[in-house]
């Protein structure tokens, strides 16, 4: 039940490029924050189900329970990550609405670093 299984290697590193497309204002920041929360919750739930199914196929019910138990620590931390990403989007939208020049500077900065 507690032996390492596929659930330890289930996630592929995601490439986040949210800094490339910054919200223009508060409304867009709130909209982006809602999308982040929705995707985060959906992804976390899908991940738990995926691990349970994979472990059940390999080891039966005990494997499924063990796989779900191994997902508890990342599942506890995930809301903090989602909340910080959503907050960053809202605050970025506020900043960009108040200081439009900063948004243009940041867009130039990230385009230069990407080339």
pLDDT confidence of residue 5:
53
C-alpha torsion sign, points 18, 24, 25, 31: negative
Give me the chain's average pLDDT, please.
81
Distance CA(71)–CA(52), nearest Å, equals 10
Helix and strand totals (H; E) in the chain = 4, 0
Q: Residue 63: its pLDDT value, please?
A: 85
Handedness of CA 21, 25, 26, 27 (dihedral sign): negative
**For residue 10, how many other CB atoms are within 10 A of its CB?**
16
SS3 of residue 21 by DSSP: coil
- The residues spanned by each domain of the chain are 24-114
Checking if the pLDDT of 3 tops 70, the result is no
- Evaluate if residue 10 carries a pLDDT over 60: no
Read off the pLDDT of each residue in 92-107 and give the average, rounded to a whole number.
87
């Amino acid at each position: 039940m507690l032996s390492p299984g596929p659930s330890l290697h289930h996630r592929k590193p995601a490439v986040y490029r949210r800094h490339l497309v910054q919200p223009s204002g508060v409304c867009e920041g709130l909209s982006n924050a809602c999308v982040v929360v929705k995707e985060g919750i959906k992804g976390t739930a899908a991940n738990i189900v995926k691990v349970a199914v994979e472990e059940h196929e390999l080891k039966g019910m005990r494997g499924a329970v063990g796989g779900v138990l191994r997902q508890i620590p990342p599942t506890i931390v995930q809301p903090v990550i989602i909340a910080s990403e959503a907050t960053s989007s809202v605050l970025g939208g506020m900043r960009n609405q108040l200081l439009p020049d900063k948004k243009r500077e940041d867009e130039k900065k990230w385009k230069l670093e990407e080339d």
